[in-house]
Amino acid sequence: MENVIEEVVAMPRIGDKAPAFKAITTQGNLDFPKAYEGKWVILFSHPADFTPVCTSEFMTFAKMEPEFNALNCDLVGLSIDGLYSHIAWLRTIKEKIEYKDMKNIEVKFPLIEDITMEVAKKYGMIQPGESSTKAVRAVFFIDPKGIIRAIIYYPLSLGRNFDELKRALIAMQTADKHEIATPADWRPGDAVIVPPAGSCGVAKDRMESEEEGIKCYDWFFCTKELPLDKI
């Protein structure tokens, strides 16, 4: 009986430096994440070109790209198909595909060629339980220092929720800026959570505080208002 040796690739984790790579894309050569120093990046993968779910996702990302750019965030796509396939697919999207209120959609962000699956493996985008030759729908949020801040994985069949991707980005940026946390279903303009007190004295002071906008339900659960114009 032959011994089968399976390649084991450690998936990057939240808090890790984003694995570096150089690649060819539909927008030229890319040195990642060096090319995006000082910016947030959403790096996302899809299983294959010329597939319907991916097509709807790329059209949605392309339509929303100005919204992400306004949040100091660039988009970078990846699949294990080749550059010429990418170009043909994106041209087809622009010339032929209509979805919801979208048509004549031009994808301007880079789409990485990854025929060797080198990048997909570095980022754990190949999930053997789904497919050994297709990248699952992975999403990596990478901050301006090149640190992975959030990771979301979807199976091959499940299209992403783009409102959630934008909400997650804004929530992380807000948490960094104001040193707070965001509660379940938080939306910009909602109350935020004040970090728990680190000592009994601080907890007592917080419970007795009359600071405007802060409401404590117990020592460990305090919220404060954070208006939209402060985000």
**What pLDDT, on a 0 to 100 scale, did the predictor assign at position 1?**
44
Q: What are the residues whose beta carbons fall under 8 Å from the beta carbon of 120, sequence distance 6 or more?
A: 45, 78, 80, 114, 126, 135
Work out the average pLDDT over 200-205: 60
Return the CATH fold of 179-230.
Antioxidant, Horf6; Chain A, domain 2 (3.30.1020)
Candidate list 54, 73, 216, 222, residue with the active-site label: 54
Name the pTM for this structure: 0.89
Binding-site annotation: residue ranges for substrate = 137
Q: Name the E strands within 60-162.
A: 73-79, 98-99, 102-103, 111-113, 137-142, 148-154
Return the CATH fold of 21-160.
Glutaredoxin (3.40.30)
Domain ranges across the chain: 21-160, 179-230
Burial class (CB in 10 A: 0-12, 13-18, 19+), 31: exposed
Give percent above pLDDT 70 in the chain: 85
Q: What is the pLDDT of residues 35-73, one digit of tens each?
A: 999 999 999 998 889 999 999 999 999 999 999 999 999
**What pLDDT, on a 0 to 100 scale, did the predictor assign at position 211?**
66
Based on the residue annotation, tell me whether 216 is a catalytic residue of this protein: no
Task: Tell me: pLDDT of 3 over 60.
Answer: no
End-to-end CA distance of the chain: 62
Task: Tell me: pLDDT of 182 over 50.
Answer: yes
C-alpha 170/C-alpha 188 separation (Å) is 8
What DSSP string runs through 151-192? Answer: EEEE-TTPPP-HHHHHHHHHHHHHHHHHT-B--TT--TTS-E
